[in-house]
């Protein structure tokens, strides 16, 4: 790979004698990695582990993820391995239970799905993206992951100042010049320029300043980029330190991880170089906001504006396991949201644009309920309440394409469709025919006619048949 000359000159100064190895690393294939959803798949794949992530694995070769039903059902997320280091910050900061977390620049959802797996169900995760189309992609991935304690929003960072001293943790995976993606994305090389890098650094400072007031005193800020540029990394941490009272957060590292520790003043920062780690370029730093914590309680509502009726609650009784969920009505839909965070949901709804929240149970059609796809994806689905129709791999792919499958459910009415006992969605058996309720906008669009049974099996590298 031919790297931009000005970029190479800067990296020679930073890396000195390591520069040759750094340059050579761009000619080595990119490592592919996944992270397992522990609430949907409890076995350990026979794959190489990502050292700093308990559920992260490397794949020896990249399969066709599009035709793997497990990906569509939220069993795993395809995520670059370096980004999984967020797990160490969560663990080593010893954050208490039932906290509120903001993932500010969250699409497509790698860090958010990771956060959802790490915090207890009593915590609240707000995942945001400022661009509407990206927030919908984020919403799709979090729906597949299946957690109820998640709110997806579509807001500018400045909007979060309406919630002062609100979050215990804020994650900013800032938009950047993308130098760490050169290996994976040749377009990033073509689009790179010093001017663009300077603009990115200015935008990152605006994001930091805009969102800082929403972090509680004593809370943790995690700032990361996928670039090597010091102006977007250590310089921005130094800039933050000039106007904010922050305390360094130091992490314990294993030498096996190959992570490089740098300094922004007295604040430790962590760099991932592709010649030293089995992953892409990343910068990450955590700091604690100093000052005494100020308790903020949401205003008490005179009445629940989203209250479902007793009849509606009875209609979905037993659909989800656990007694910790509040059943609410939004327009013609019934949703489930953690009861202990319901007041927070109302507070967020009053201040931000919500894309989705909790688990959508279904839509009310006259006196009947049409179960939502999110219900099938939920990790709290009471599967014993529905007849189950398990599909072979070929039929599972046909179902995900919304095409005809070779076998029809024997039970009339709603059937939960599964693949290897993992839910994929719903089919309604009408007696003489059935309707496929897999979301049309999520369907597989690629042609699979060239995939015979043997080729399909060969692609199932992650979870062999």
pLDDT at position 296? 59
Helix (H, G, I), strand (E, B) or coil at 214: helix
Place of tokens 């008490």: 300
Distance CA 169, CA 123 (A): 11
Strand order in the sheet with 333-338: 325-330, 333-338, 359-365, 368-371
pLDDT tens digits in sequence order for the chain, 465 residues long = 889 999 999 999 999 999 999 999 999 988 999 999 999 998 888 899 999 999 999 998 888 899 999 999 999 999 999 999 999 999 999 887 899 999 999 999 999 999 999 999 999 999 999 999 999 999 999 999 999 999 999 999 999 999 999 999 999 999 999 999 998 888 889 999 999 999 999 999 999 999 999 999 999 999 999 999 999 999 999 999 999 999 999 999 999 999 999 999 999 999 999 999 999 999 999 999 998 776 656 556 555 677 888 888 999 999 999 878 999 998 889 999 999 999 999 999 999 999 999 999 999 988 889 999 999 999 999 999 999 999 999 999 999 999 999 887 789 999 999 999 999 999 999 988 899 999 999 999 988 877 777 777 666 656 665
446: CB partners within 8 A, 6+ apart: 66, 67
End-to-end Cα distance, the chain: 38
**Confidence (pLDDT) at 464:** 61
CA–CA gap between residue 237 and residue 268 (Å, rounded): 10
For the domain made up of 386-459, the CATH class stated in words is: alpha beta
What pLDDT shows up at residue 97? Answer: 81
Strand partners of residue 100:
124
The residues spanned by each domain of the chain are 386-459
Indicate the SS3 state at residue 425. strand
pTM of the model: 0.95
Name beta bridge partners: 171: 103, 222
**Residue 331 confidence (pLDDT):** 81
**Rg of the Cα trace of the chain?**
23
Alpha-helical segments (H) within 231-284? 234-243
Q: How far apart (Å, rounded) are the C-alpha atoms in residues 202 and 34?
A: 33
- Which sign does the torsion angle of CA 37, 38, 42, 47 carry? positive
Helix (H) or strand (E) run with residue 139 in it: helix 132-145
Q: Write out the E strands in 164-214.
A: 167-173
Contacts of 43 (CB under 8 A, 6+ apart): none
Q: Is 256 exposed, middle or buried (0-12, 13-18, 19+ CB in 10 A)?
A: exposed
How many other C-beta atoms can be found within 10 angstroms of the C-beta atom of residue 66?
Answer: 14
Determine contact, residues 372/389, Cβ cutoff 8 Å.
no
């Amino acid at each position: 790979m031919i790297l931009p000359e000005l970029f190479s000159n800067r990296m020679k100064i930073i890396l000195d004698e390591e520069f040759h190895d750094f340059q050579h690393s761009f000619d080595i294939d990119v490592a592919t990695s996944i992270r397992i959803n522990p609430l949907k798949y409890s076995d350990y794949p026979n794959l190489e582990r990502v050292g700093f992530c308990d559920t992260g694995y490397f794949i020896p070769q990249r399969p066709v993820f599009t035709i793997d039903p497990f990906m569509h059902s939220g069993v795993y997320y395809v995520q670059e391995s370096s980004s999984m280091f967020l797990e160490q910050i969560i663990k080593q900061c010893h954050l208490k239970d039932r906290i509120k977390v903001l993932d500010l620049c969250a699409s497509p959802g790698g860090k958010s799905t990771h956060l959802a797996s790490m915090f207890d169900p009593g915590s609240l995760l707000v995942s945001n993206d400022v661009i509407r189309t990206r927030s919908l992609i984020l919403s799709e991935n979090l729906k597949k992951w299946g957690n109820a304690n998640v709110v997806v929003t579509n807001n500018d960072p400045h909007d979060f100042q309406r919630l002062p001293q609100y979050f215990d943790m804020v994650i900013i995976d800032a938009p950047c010049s993308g130098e760490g993606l050169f290996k994976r994305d040749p377009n990033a090389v073509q689009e790179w320029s010093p001017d663009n890098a300077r603009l990115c650094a200015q935008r990152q400072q605006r994001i930091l300043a805009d969102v800082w007031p929403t972090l509680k005193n004593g809370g943790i800020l995690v700032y990361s980029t996928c670039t090597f540029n010091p102006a977007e990394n250590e310089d921005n941490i130094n800039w933050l330190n000039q106007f904010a009272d922050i305390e360094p957060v130091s992490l314990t590292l294993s030498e096996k991880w190959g992570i490089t520790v740098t300094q922004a003043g007295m604040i430790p920062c962590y760099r991932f170089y592709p010649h030293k780690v089995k992953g892409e370029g990343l910068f990450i730093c955590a700091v604690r906001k100093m000052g005494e914590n100020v308790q903020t309680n949401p205003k008490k509502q005179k009445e629940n504006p989203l209250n479902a009726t007793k009849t509606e609650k009875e209609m979905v009784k037993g659909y989800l396991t656990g007694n910790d969920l509040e059943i609410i009505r939004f327009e013609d839909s019934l949703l489930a949201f953690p009861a202990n965070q319901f007041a927070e949901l109302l507070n967020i709804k009053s201040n931000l644009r919500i894309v989705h929240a909790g688990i959508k149970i279904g839509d009310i059609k006259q006196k009947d309920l049409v179960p939502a796809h999110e219900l099938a994806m939920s990790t709290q689905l009471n599967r014993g309440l529905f007849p189950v129709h398990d599909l072979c791999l070929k039929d599972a792919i046909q179902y995900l394409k919304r095409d005809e499958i070779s076998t029809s459910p024997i039970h009339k009415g709603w059937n939960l469709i599964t693949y290897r006992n993992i839910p994929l969605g719903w089919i309604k058996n009408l007696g003489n025919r059935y309707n496929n309720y897999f979301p049309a906008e999520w369907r597989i669009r690629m042609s699979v006619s060239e995939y015979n049974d043997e080729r399909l099996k060969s692609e199932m590298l992650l979870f062999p048949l």
